[in-house]
C-alpha cells in the first residue's frame, strides 16, 4: 500500500516524520498481528524503521521514526530528557472558563475494569499537561495541549478529569460520535444524517526536536485529517 505524498511530512537518511491516519496502529495489534501498522505500511518503501514514540490507534498526526539505530538512540535520549516538544489539538465538549491552564494530576494506566488510565493520588505517576484555548464554539472548544510527561492516554485522561472530555472519546466520557445536528442547539437529528466524527478528536499537530546527526532544530507540523478539519469548520462560533 503506497504512502500518499501528503502523509510523508519529512524524510532524510536518519529519520522520517509520518502524518499517521486515525485507525492505524503504531505497533502490531496484540489480538490480530496481521492488521496493518505503521512499520508494516512504511518499511516496504523506506527500509527498516525504529519506533521512537507512539500515538494511540485512533489519534492522527505527526509520528517520528528513526531510520538508523544511532538516530533511534539519540531521539530516545531526547524523549527521556523531555527535550521533544509535542503539540496536540483536541476538540472538547463543554464551556472552557479559562484561556490557559496546567493540569498536574498523577496517573495510573490500566486502572479500572475498562483498562483506562485513571487519576490516582496514591499510586499514580506525576503527569503534567499545559492547555490553551485556540477557538471557542457553541458547546465545544478547540484546545492546544502540550504534554510535559509521557503517560498513557495522558491528554485524554486529564481533559476528562476536569470535565471537558474529547469529542468522540467514549472511553473517557465524551460523546461516541458527532453529527451535524449536534452542532446546532435544538436541531433534531435526521434519520439518514451522516456522522462527522466517530473517533477521538485528538490530533498530534506538531513535533519539535534536535536532528540526531546535525543538531538542527526541527519542528514538523501535520495538517488536520479530513474528518477533524470538517468538524472544526462546521462548529458554530460563540
The 10s digit of each residue's pLDDT in 115-173 is 999 999 999 999 999 999 999 999 999 999 999 999 999 999 999 999 999 999 999 99
State the cell numbers at 191. Answer: 434519520
Contact 151, 56 (CB under 8 A): no
Q: Which residues are catalytic?
A: 56
- Judged against a pLDDT cut of 70, whether residue 3 lies above it is answered with no
Quote the pTM value: 0.94
Q: What per-residue confidence (pLDDT) applies to 233?
A: 95
CB under 8 Å to 76, separation ≥6 — which residues?
52
CA distance 76 to 3: 25
Domain holding 19, by residue range, is: 5-234
At 6, is the pLDDT very low, low, confident or very high (cuts 50, 70, 90)?
low
CA distance 145 to 171: 19
Q: What is the CATH number of the domain that holds 122?
A: 3.30.2350.10
- Judged against a pLDDT cut of 90, whether residue 109 lies above it is answered with yes
Q: Which residues pair with 51 in a beta bridge?
A: 65
Q: What per-residue confidence (pLDDT) applies to 31?
A: 82
**How many independent structural domains does the chain possess?**
1
The 10s digit of each residue's pLDDT in 179-229 is 998 987 767 776 778 999 999 999 999 999 999 999 999 999 999 999 999
The 10s digit of each residue's pLDDT in 201-214 is 999 999 999 999 99
Provide φ and ψ at 228, rounded to 5°. Answer: -65, -45
Q: What per-residue confidence (pLDDT) applies to 89?
A: 98
Q: Which residues pair with 64 in a beta bridge?
A: 17
The 10s digit of each residue's pLDDT in 17-31 is 999 999 999 998 878
Amino acid at each position: 500500500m503506497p504512502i500518499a505524498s501528503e502523509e510523508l511530512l519529512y524524510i532524510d537518511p536518519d529519520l522520517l516524520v509520518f502524518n499517521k491516519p486515525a485507525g492505524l496502529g503504531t505497533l502490531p495489534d496484540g489480538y490480530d498481528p496481521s492488521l496493518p501498522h505503521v512499520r508494516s505500511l512504511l518499511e516496504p518503501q523506506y527500509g527498516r524503521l525504529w519506533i521512537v514514540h507512539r500515538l494511540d490507534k485512533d489519534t492522527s498526526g505527526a509520528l517520528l521514526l528513526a531510520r538508523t539505530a544511532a538516530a533511534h538512540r539519540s531521539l530516545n535520549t531526547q524523549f527521556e530528557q523531555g527535550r521533544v516538544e509535542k503539540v496536540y489539538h483536541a476538540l472538547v465538549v463543554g464551556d472552557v472558563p479559562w484561556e490557559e491552564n496546567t493540569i498536574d494530576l498523577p496517573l495510573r494506566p490500566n486502572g479500572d475494569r475498562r483498562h483506562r488510565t485513571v487519576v490516582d493520588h496514591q499510586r499514580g505517576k506525576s503527569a503534567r499537561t499545559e492547555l490553551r484555548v485556540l477557538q471557542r464554539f457553541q458547546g465545544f472548544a478547540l484546545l492546544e495541549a502540550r504534554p510535559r510527561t509521557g503517560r498513557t492516554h495522558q491528554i485524554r485522561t486529564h481533559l476528562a478529569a476536569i470535565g471537558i472530555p474529547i469529542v468522540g472519546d467514549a472511553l473517557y466520557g465524551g460523546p461516541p460520535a458527532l453529527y451535524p445536528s449536534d452542532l446546532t442547539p435544538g436541531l433534531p437529528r435526521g434519520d439518514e444524517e451522516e456522522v462527522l466524527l466517530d473517533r477521538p478528536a485528538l490530533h498530534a499537530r506538531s513535533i519539535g526536536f534536535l536532528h540526531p546527526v546535525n543538531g538542527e532544530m526541527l519542528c514538523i507540523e501535520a495538517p488536520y485529517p479530513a474528518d477533524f478539519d470538517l468538524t472544526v469548520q462546521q462548529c458554530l462560533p460563540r
